Amino acid sequence: MMQKLDMQSPEFKEELAKTIKFTDKVVAQFNWKYNTNTDINEGVQLGLARNKMLYKKRFCPCFMVDVDESGKAKSSDDRLCPCKPAIEKEIPENGVCHCQIFCTQEYLDKQDAL
């Protein structure tokens, strides 16, 4: 059964603020950019905060998270943000991660040209 969180609760708002700081650090660390579509960024940040509260880890929200019999959570392809596929393949090859929150300046330039 899916757990529900009160997105208006002080606890969730605090976790969301921490998650935004976390994604800011990821952008700076890897010299990436945020997607210019703020709806995508906000949605991913909300999902990361939710996963952190539910599973104690910032699993990418675009992938299912399963909890085994022992209570250990794991996402499809073990996608813990910033995930290995994004770092090693998606962003270098496509300029954007699967969730589309993180991208390169070149990717943004191409989107602007469209």
Distance in angstroms (rounded) separating the CA atoms of residues 67 and 69: 7
**pLDDT the model gives residue 2:** 57
Residue 3 within any structural domain of the chain = no
For residue 4, being part of any structural domain is answered with no
Number of domains comprising the chain: 1
Residue 85: inside a domain, yes or no? yes
| Res. 3: pLDDT tops 80 | no
> What does the pLDDT average to over 8-22?
96
Q: Is the pTM of this model over 0.85?
A: yes
- Domain range spanning residue 21? 13-113
Residue 71 has pLDDT above 80, yes or no: no
What CATH number has the domain bearing residue 104?
A: 3.90.460.10
Any domain includes 78: yes
Over residues 26-36, the pLDDT tens digits come to: 999 999 999 99
Yes or no: say if 87 and 73 are a contact pair by the CB < 8 Å rule: no
Calculate the average pLDDT of the chain.
91
**What is residue 7's three-state secondary structure?**
coil
